[in-house]
Amino acid sequence: MAQQNAQLATLDQASDSIEATLKQCNTMALKEMPALKQAITLANGLTALRSALTDEIVAAVFMPLQGSALGFVTDKDRDGGYPLPVVRDVLVEAMVHGFQPVNNEINIIAGRFYGAKNGFARKLREFPGLTDLHVNPGVPQNVGDKGSLCPMSATWRVNGVPYEMVRDVSKNAATGEVRDTRIPVRVNSGMGVDAVVGKATRKMLKAIYDLLTGSTLTVEDGEVGEAIPAEGVTVNPEPSPAPAPPEQDGRKIKLGGKTAEESPRQPGEEG
């Protein structure tokens, strides 16, 4: 009993230390600082987080979460997952970006942190003043052997002000110029339409979050098509083409005010 109490006390101390550090070195706090202070604060924060996440704490608390949809999944789950030092480094990066190691908010892919769809969805639900977020995916179109372009639109409100983001093919009525802003998705072997849409949805949620925060410390995943223009209320103000017939319409995903998420697929494939 004494040993168990001592372990709980150690976990409480580590938790308090992590929370105190993250108040100063999370990405939202860092973006308000001058560049040099950002670097100093982040360096000190990373050192403090690694010190708090001792081998014992990572082994007892976080390693059991690896490979579980209730925790986080990796691309090496079939081989037993990643070793403790890799998991600790990913946890540190995830915490700084505001992601949690539960509910499949993060993945580990190629030994690196990957912010998953559930993480961005939760961060948007908690964004101050944001309500009525609706993401509307369209029907993906295959491009080449391992690619797909997925049309997507989203609407939301911030403190009652409506916003819209459109990623689709549009045509300028005056010039005739065609613009294609559909979301590119890399299609892995065995991926179905749902997985492609999930990946595109993740990119859409990330684009909305980046637009809202304006942070330079955003989460990247190595795929093209993450950055979008952000002028005015509508990201793509040009008219979209006529909608697909009803039998081809994409699904509407409502994220505002709800915590339920779709079941995760393989790491990275859910978006």
* DSSP symbols for 125-183: HTSTTEEEEEEEE---EE-SSSEEEE-EEEEEEETTEEEEEEESEEE-TTT--EEE-PE
Q: How far apart are CA 107 and CA 197, in angstroms?
A: 18
CA distances for 178 relative to 33, 136, 162, 232, 265, angstroms: 40, 22, 26, 20, 35
pTM for this model (two decimals): 0.76
Tell me the C-alpha distance between 32 and 45, whole Å. Answer: 16
Q: Parse the chain into domains and list their residue ranges.
A: 2-66+83-99, 129-254
Nearest by Cα to 71 from 100, 30, 33: 100
Question: What is the rounded average pLDDT of the residues 167-176?
Answer: 92
What confidence score (pLDDT) does residue 265 get?
A: 54
* 152 CB-contact burial (10 Å; exposed 0-12 / middle 13-18 / buried 19+): buried
Comparing 59-63, 115-119, 170-174, 249-253, which segment has the lowest mean pLDDT?
249-253
- Mean pLDDT over 69-88 rounds to 95
* pLDDT of res. 229: 29
Q: Which two tokens stand for residue 109?
A: 């892919």
Phi, psi of 256 (to 5 degrees): -65, 125
Virtual CA dihedral for 93, 228, 263, 129, nearest 10 degrees? 80
Structure token pair of residue 209 = 């979050």
Largest Cα–Cα separation, the chain:
77
Q: What is the pLDDT of residue 117?
A: 94
Q: How far is Cα 10 from Cα 7, in angstroms, rounded to an integer?
A: 5
Identify the band that residue 201 occupies on the pLDDT scale cut at 50, 70 and 90: very high
> For position 208, what pLDDT does the model report?
95
Would you say residue 38 has pLDDT above 80?
Answer: yes
